[in-house]
A and B are shown apart, each in its own frame.
Chain A
Amino acid sequence: MKPQEVQGIRSDIGTVGVVLDPYPSQVKVVRPARGWWGGVKKGFVTGASTSVAIGVVAPVPGGTLIGVILAPFAAVAGSVYGAVKALPAKKVDETEAILDKATVSLKAMNLRGAFVTTVVNTGNERTGWEFVHLPDIGPQAREEVVNYDQLEIPGIDSILEIRIETSGLVGRFHIDPPTSAFVELSTRLIRVSDNKILVEDILSCESEERTFVQWSEDGGHYFIDAFRSCVPPLAEKVVDDFFLVRPIPAR
């Protein structure tokens, strides 16, 4: 978007109502292979696909064909490696149980409430516009489209609608991959008078990487901390990108 367009949009903003979806986000978790059989299956896929991928990118004539021919052997080697390296099923189950408990603790911490409060406070402190939290307004279900012009929200001319779309642990497909805790938001700035979406973006936060077992250490302390740590930077990112950043040409 050009600076003039952004300025045009922002010049119409008066008071911003902030709404955050109340429904649970979609959860995506990249798990390690569970037990030796899980290791065999993941190792098979990893071995075969690695062989083909190397063949495709190798600067050798017929590299792809060689990669495909070697794929069954790589798959067998990968299966053996996976069977040896995979975590015992019991360990995976124990880790999942700890992370489930940590997830319950996270919900009890009301990070959603902390997040929306941080967005409102950051907006009020840094932008010069007035930000107001509207707790009872906004989408109540994933597919719901809210017609804000039909609602009684006096004094609010723009809605900052934030939906926490996805969260979880993201990483590569591997036997025991390091993963990052992540949160992905879908954010829209909507004009109340005609429900026009002025700006929309998908914003995300990713933590440091740890293995599945490492996330569960100390009762899931790192796991909880990773999601809690995403609250301030994500709130700052929303306010920055929607209300403060002047677009400049990239090189």
Chain B
Amino acid sequence: MAEPRRALQTELLEQVLPLVLEIIPGQAGEGLIDLYEPGSYEGQLLRKLCEKTLGKKNWSIEEQQILEDIYRQLDGGRLLCRGREIQGTALDFALLEETGAGEKYLYVPIRAIKPQEGGLYPSKKTSR
């Protein structure tokens, strides 16, 4: 994966580019990668795109394993990006990237993750 770079929203909007959506399960190094052609994602909620990707059936064996990992994380977990829930369109979260051959595309990494921390007591109750 290329290093994520800064992207200006206006710059993204002006370009007709494919969108690469990657859903990463937990702390895995690689996620499930799906490609959306220009015209197929604009204006759509990112959440809906994720649902569409996760609903697809034509995955390879390796991809199916990643998909299972994603489902395991989503059992009680959430889809997050940039430290928050994925409310908004794909362009709200996209980064402008470039392939080795210099072709530009939009990239959205999404994290599928379970609650993580070491456990909490329900609330503070003190003596009176």
Do A and B pair up? The answer is no
